[in-house]
Amino acid sequence: MKTPALVVGLCLLTLVSTRVTTAAATQTGSLNQPAGAAAPLTLETPHERDARMKWWRDARFGMFIHWGLYAIPAGEWKGKTDHAEWIRESAKIPLEEYNQFLGQFNPVKFNPAEWSRLAHRAGMKYLVITSKHHDGFALWDSKASDFDVMATPFKRDILKELSAACRKQNVRFCTYHSIMDWHHPDYLPRRTWEKSTRSADGADFDRFRGYLKSQLAEIVRGYNPGVMWFDGEWEATWTHAMGEDLDDYVRGLNKKIIINNRVDKGRHGMAGQTREGGFRGDFGTPEQEIPDQGIPGVDWESCMTMNAHWGWNAADTKWKSTEDLVRKLIDIASKGGNFLLNIGPRPDGTFPDQAVERLEGIGRWMDKNSSSIYGTHASPIGKPAWGRCTQKELGKGKTRLYLHVFDWPNDGQLVVTGINGTPIKAALLDGGDKLKFTQNAGGLTIEVPAKPKDTMTTVITLDITKPKTGI
């Protein structure tokens, strides 16, 4: 049995490794950020922000992993098969009954080296795993709670093993952490359907906030995530002031950490971008959708499932094709965003075969075309009818456009309009074969081979010199 110790005020900021009770008092942030200040932190210069965000902006592609006790029923409960990570809520499972999954969680085939290898193979530069989802179950050895992986037959610290494996593959380890917690006795509100059987008498949301911080301190200090990906902020008990306080607190633990906009109350629904009003968060979080266009100067990341569920659902056969996923990655990069693609591992610790197949397929495309994704910026020519475009500065006044051709021209003529500069070279990215081009008032016409190099997407590089400005 774990015996937490009481933590008061700002003490948690200086604790190295201590046990924190669920009765801990509310802590406040250490940065003394004024209420209503705009994100990013006003104490950070634009140059400092750009330096902190650089690795994430350059990465463009990451893996999301939703995994926990909810994998055990595999989406099925009492004959219905449409559940997943929300199963305790969607199937209205009483807490005592749900807790029985603790004794069944034993993913003996969990192989963190294989997970990180598959992320690397797909060309993903970072990995975000659910340290704790809404059900409150922790995937690490938490000194603040008994509702964790050490209370299961598995008894292995998943975050510790996976973070170490990611470092070996040069994949940046990151964590998702739910503010909402259906298990903790001090979290409010209770689910509507359980109010009659699970009293909220004596529950103290401020105590819960202390518990939340204690677990976050364990994660940040113990596993050094590059991103803290919050969720579950939409319930009325969580306020803007609490979001500011938590943002300050986590940044006080690690000033280089990147935090999404779900720490606060500014997210604009599933569209995910942050509303005006001084809300916190380094990037917007569109969910299961891609914005029609990017917003200059705004960082964002579309998170999306490979099939129809985030957590493992054995009955789900609605898998997106490899081609669709590659083109979604390109579309997102062409608008200046990142793509966070989800896997829901099975209860034994393995990835679904369909997911592995798609990761391998994406990786084969990235082997030859990743330079058109990593470190690129949004398209300067909008959304051409034949595909998408990304760009990268080459220095000395030169820019490289990456023309991702979805619909290969039957006549061998690819027409590119809207170019602001002088074309100097066109070539196939895969193989480097030079291509002839001509330019007139109607745009630039590139002579392309009869067949594409890759039927999913063939990339053509077009180097241009920018027009000189000034006197």
Given its phi and psi angles, is residue 277 left (phi above 0), alpha (psi -120 to 50 degrees) or beta? left
**Are residue 252 and residue 392 in the same domain, yes or no?**
no
- CA angle, residues 276, 281, 285, in degrees to nearest 5: 85
Using CB atoms within 10 A of its CB, is residue 463 exposed (0-12), middle (13-18) or buried (19+)? middle
Tokens in use for 138?
């922790």
**Are residue 320 and residue 413 in the same domain, yes or no?**
no
CB 399 within 8 A of CB 466: yes
CA distance 97 to 230: 27
Over residues 145-170, the mean pLDDT reads: 98
Neighbours of 320 (CB within 10 A): 17
Q: Which residue reads 């196939």 in tokens?
A: 428
Q: How many domains does the chain have?
A: 2
Mean pLDDT of the chain: 91
Helix axes 205-223, 158-169, angle to 10 degrees: 40
Q: Does 351 reside within a domain? A: yes
Q: Please write the tens of the pLDDT for every residue from 19-77.
A: 333 333 333 333 333 233 334 455 789 999 999 999 999 999 999 999 999 999 999 99
**Are residue 223 and residue 107 in the same domain, yes or no?**
yes
- CA angle, residues 20, 24, 29, in degrees to nearest 5: 95
- CA angle, residues 396, 392, 381, in degrees to nearest 5: 110
Domain end among 372, 398, 427 = 372
Which is nearest to 40 in space by CA: 219, 295, 241, 297? 297
Q: How confident is the model at residue 200 (pLDDT cuts 50, 70, 90)?
A: very high
Domain end among 345, 372, 399 = 372
Q: How confident is the model at residue 249 (pLDDT cuts 50, 70, 90)?
A: very high
Q: Please write the tens of the pLDDT for every residue from 106-120.
A: 999 999 999 999 999
pLDDT at 36: 33
pLDDT at 233: 98
Amino acid identity, position 19: R
CA distance 283 to 100: 37
pLDDT at 359: 98
Of 22-36, 174-188, 284-298, 368-382, which gets the smallest average pLDDT? 22-36
pTM, two decimals, is: 0.90
Q: Does 249 reside within a domain? A: yes
CATH number reported for the structural domain that contains residue 211 in this entry: 3.20.20.80
Q: Is the peptide bond before 189 cis (omega within 30 degrees of 0)?
A: yes
Neighbours of 66 (CB within 10 A): 22
pLDDT at 42: 53
**Are residue 236 and residue 91 in the same domain, yes or no?**
yes
Residue 4, pLDDT > 50, answer no
**Are residue 310 and residue 175 in the same domain, yes or no?**
yes
What is the extent of the structural domain holding 457? Answer: 387-465
**Are residue 318 and residue 413 in the same domain, yes or no?**
no
Q: Which residue reads 């994998």 in tokens?
A: 71
Tokens in use for 126?
């970072």
| Percentage of the residues of the chain whose pLDDT score is greater than 90 | 88
**Are residue 28 and residue 53 in the same domain, yes or no?**
yes
Q: Does 378 reside within a domain? A: no
Residue 223, pLDDT > 80, answer yes
Residue 338, pLDDT > 80, answer yes
- Beta pairing, strands 413-416 & 387-395: unpaired
pLDDT at 1: 40
pLDDT at 39: 45
Over residues 259-275, the mean pLDDT reads: 95
Contacts of 120 (CB under 8 A, 6+ apart): 169, 170, 171
**Are residue 296 and residue 414 in the same domain, yes or no?**
no
Contacts of 41 (CB under 8 A, 6+ apart): 31, 33, 251
Q: How confident is the model at residue 260 (pLDDT cuts 50, 70, 90)?
A: very high
Over residues 271-281, the mean pLDDT reads: 94
Q: How confident is the model at residue 3 (pLDDT cuts 50, 70, 90)?
A: very low
CB 27 within 8 A of CB 10: yes
CB 380 within 8 A of CB 336: no
Q: Does 122 reside within a domain? A: yes
Tokens in use for 111?
């192989």
CA distance 182 to 348: 24
Residue 432, pLDDT > 70, answer yes
CB 49 within 8 A of CB 31: no
What's the order of all strands across the beta sheet hosting 413-416?
413-416, 443-447, 437-440
Q: Does 471 reside within a domain? A: no
What is the 3-state composition of the chain as percent helix, strand, coil, each rounded to the nearest 5?
30, 20, 50
- Beta pairing, strands 458-465 & 398-405: antiparallel
> What is the residue-wise DSSP string for 106-145?
--TT--HHHHHHHHHHTT--EEEEEEE-TT--BSS--TT-
Domain end among 372, 401, 428 = 372
Neighbours of 113 (CB within 10 A): 14
Over residues 299-310, the mean pLDDT reads: 98
Q: Does 170 reside within a domain? A: yes
**Are residue 350 and residue 444 in the same domain, yes or no?**
no
Estimate to the nearest angstrom the gap between the alpha carbon of 456 and the chain centroid: 24
**Are residue 361 and residue 439 in the same domain, yes or no?**
no
**Are residue 144 and residue 188 in the same domain, yes or no?**
yes
**Are residue 362 and residue 419 in the same domain, yes or no?**
no
Helix axes 112-121, 158-169, angle to 10 degrees: 40
Q: Does 178 reside within a domain? A: yes
pLDDT at 30: 32
Residue 13, pLDDT > 70, answer no
Which is nearest to 149 in space by CA: 109, 106, 85? 106
CA distance 461 to 437: 12
Residue 62 DSSP SS3: strand
Which is nearest to 67 in space by CA: 284, 355, 329? 355
Sign of torsion over alpha carbons 380, 381, 382, 385: negative
Q: Does 143 reside within a domain? A: yes
Contacts of 14 (CB under 8 A, 6+ apart): none
CATH number reported for the structural domain that contains residue 398 in this entry: 2.60.40.1180
